[in-house]
Structure 1
Amino acid sequence: MRTVYVNGEFLPETEAKISIFDRSFLFADGVYEVTSVLDGKLIDFMGHMKRLERSLSELKFSFKPDIDQLLEAHRELVKRNDITEGLIYLQVSRGSAGDRDFAINPETTPTIVMFTQSKSLIKSALAERGQKIVTFPDIRWRRSDIKTVQLLYASLLKTEAASKGADDAWMVLDGFVTEGSSNNAYIVTQDGTIVTRELSTDILHGITRASVLKCAEELQLKVEERHFTIEEAQNAKEAFSTSASAFVCPVSEIDGKKIGDGVPGPIAKRLREIYIEANRATAL
């Protein structure tokens, strides 16, 4: 049985409770972060906390997180659950004002919950064979840069992709790829240039994305941050995605068409290796 964290307390998961009037339950009024754990240490923790602060600010939360306290709580969960490799999920909701009301009460006390998931991150069968991707229209609300708990559409896409024999979905807005259901999307052109959509309100500002682009710079790889189409992706030399839970994960097929040779390409594989190596060295 896992130990989880609820509003400053460490509890058995069977004893963890929040109010049915919590605004995350009623209005999806909350934000979250997922931090990877390797060798019992936290990967890119401060990057995740900086984005957490931004998400809270964009949704006009009055709550200001105590980052040192959250770091200690993360470490304590790793210790209590004996997590060597896996994830820690952190969610901050606006909390409960005692009854259901669309209007936000500024005096509401936030709800903070955290839990661990033990998962193999380094050894990944999906990364070794490459993902099969199918595409769907991007009909989410237009503040995809805020990491909210409004994940129903992403969940539906993941499920629909699986029903089509695929591993994940990429979304398309006005003819151009935005991102994956829970990751940022990339292609590698025939001349070896890495292309990914520029930062805006249309995509999540991925913490892993930032780290991987830094790795690409250190490898002296050319990077272009711009829009790209599904047709361009299908004709690319390589494709891949990045996320905190999958690191760099190659793509082998998009909408039934093989990418390159239909196997993970050398640039994606090298970026995955360098990302893991670099972040292991700086883990907290």
Structure 2
Amino acid sequence: MHKLSLILFLLTVVGSQAIAMPKSFEVWFLSEMSTAQVNNILDRLNPHLKNGPLYSQRPLQCQPMGDYCFDPQVGLYKRGEESGQELEKVDQSSVEDAKKYDFMEVHAGHERQMIDCDESQLFDIFCGEAQKKMKVGESKLEIWMDVSSTMKQIDFYGFENECKRERFLRDLSATCPLNQKMKVYYFEEFRKEAGAFDRVCLSSGLNNMKRIMQDLDRSKAETVIIITDIFEAKDEFISAIEATNRGTIRGLNKPLYNTDLKSQLKRIRKFCL
């Protein structure tokens, strides 16, 4: 049954390429750094961070994820490595009912009260020079950034510190301005267009990589860079990428860490020029 569903999924992926798909795309699987590496970075960022609430000695929760457990405060950890702390089982219904909450709309509040830019005007003292808005399908480069809960295990330095994904996007936007030369999307279960970079470090939710592949099939961008974590490197997803004959996988043959994102900037900038 599993093989049949995989075959049907691959046929869907290959067949849809005739309709749309980027000319090329890359999938980066970021690996988890060792505890020593993380501690060294945290010490440089904030010597007092490890005494903060992120590391408070409370019972760890365990939302089962294969051989791992997920705790909403400390992220993903391997079963049996909780240092003798009492585990608190998470009610799965709390995850299933997550859609019932009313989430804050992006750009709601004060920004809505700002003066609107009139596109018919060449210059406005508040808006600056009018910029041509990017139409759907016009983007040369799209960055799809994983913001699911497991990324907290890969790229998180506390709520007061900038994660490497945010720094990568800000540095890239200096050459490839957001919504002018590139588009950025955040994804977990669903993919959403980003209007700013300040929410990329707030990891929550679970991924649906089948839906991500379906979105990729419909994408009209020339190049798409998908940045996710090593926990998504599953056979079905890898096979779907390879079946397209357009995808490049990074982070499997050699570990790719969040600190390596900066080294990719020079190469990725060329895609938006």
TM-score tier after normalising by the smaller chain length: under 0.3
Q: Which protein shows a greater Rg?
A: 2
Task: Tell which has more relative contact order, 1 or 2 (C-alpha 8 A, sep 6+).
Answer: 2
Name the one with the larger strand percent: 1
After TM superposition, the score normalised by the length of structure 1 is 0.27
After TM superposition, the score normalised by the length of structure 2 is 0.28
Name the one with the larger helix percent: 2
